Amino acid sequence: MKTNLNLIFYNTQTNFGDQLSPFILDMLINKEKYSVSHNKPGDDISIVMIGSYIHQARNNSYIYGSGVRTDPPIECYNNYSKLNICAVRGPITKAFLEGRGFNVPEIFGDPALLLPLFYKPITIAGLSNKIAVVPHKSNYNKYKAVEKDNRYLLINPHEGWRNVINKLASCKCIISSSLHGLICSDAYNKPNIWLDEYPLQEGDLKFKDYFMSQSRGYIKITRIEDFNESQLYTKGNTIDLEKLRNAFPFR
């Protein structure tokens, strides 16, 4: 009889980054030993993966690459007294959890970085000289004017994740106010830069957390008009993906 593993994630079809958790889990899990449910109530073994979602963990949940959004937290963090922490997004999350008495291994990385191991993007003709713009889901509508400039390709973060990745990987570089736009750009080794034109209500801690995990400079632009290709981050992912992959506990 298989053991059920309950994936706790922000279950929405309207943000490509959140859609990645079920796919990555499906690629990593040992299907002979485990079945998977999504956001199921009850006491099943649970795991939190992609995104700033640790506040939704339950007692004894497994944490695999997730992170915190703010410190001090804007959410309630009283759901658990014990966590099984396998990896976290970055050093800020590690320090946050250690400050609350949890043991946290020195294993960093958002699991979306593993995406190239499991998905080869479809190259879309005509995009190789385009600059992709990937807005955060909250400010997508503010960038509609970008579509009038033929230098850019505006990518809707509300599309299915495969469509987003296909477009992102087909362009020459990426400007993104979405953290997962940057993470996926690094995963596929696409030059990118963070656009912080409309600061998020939650702040920028998650960006700092990820950048620190990559030993990446805290560089951003605040307007698309300020974009210069010399500012692009070009090192791609620097995290040991084998170490991150091996930290997954249900193989």
Q: What is the mean pLDDT of each run of 10 residues along the chain (251 residues)?
A: 95 85 97 96 93 92 96 77 96 96 97 98 98 95 93 96 97 98 98 96 95 97 95 97 98 94
Rounded to the nearest 5°, which phi and psi values hold at 121?
Answer: -65, 150
Return the half-sphere exposure (C-beta side, CA atoms, 13 A cut-off) of residue 125. 0
Q: Where are the alpha helices (DSSP H) in 5-84?
A: 16-28
| C-alpha–C-alpha distance, residues 142 and 145, integer Å | 8
Q: How far is CA 162 from CA 28, 59, 171, 212, in A?
A: 18, 33, 15, 27
The vertex-168 CA angle with 112 and 221, nearest 5°, equals 90
From CA 60, how far away is CA 72, in angstroms rounded? 22
In DSSP terms, 5 is beta-bridged to 36, 45
Residues facing 3 on adjacent strands:
34
Contact 84, 57 (CB under 8 A): no
Tokens 């959004």: give the residue. Answer: 69
Q: Please name the residue that has the structure tokens 């290709």.
A: 229
What pLDDT shows up at residue 201? 87
pLDDT for 136 equals 94
**Nearest to 168, CA basis, from 241, 116, 222, 224:** 116
CA–CA distance, 122 with 162 (Å, rounded to integer): 9
In single-letter form, the type of residue at position 47 comes to I
Residue 192, φ and ψ in degrees, nearest 5: -155, 165
The Cα 228–Cα 206 span in angstroms is 24
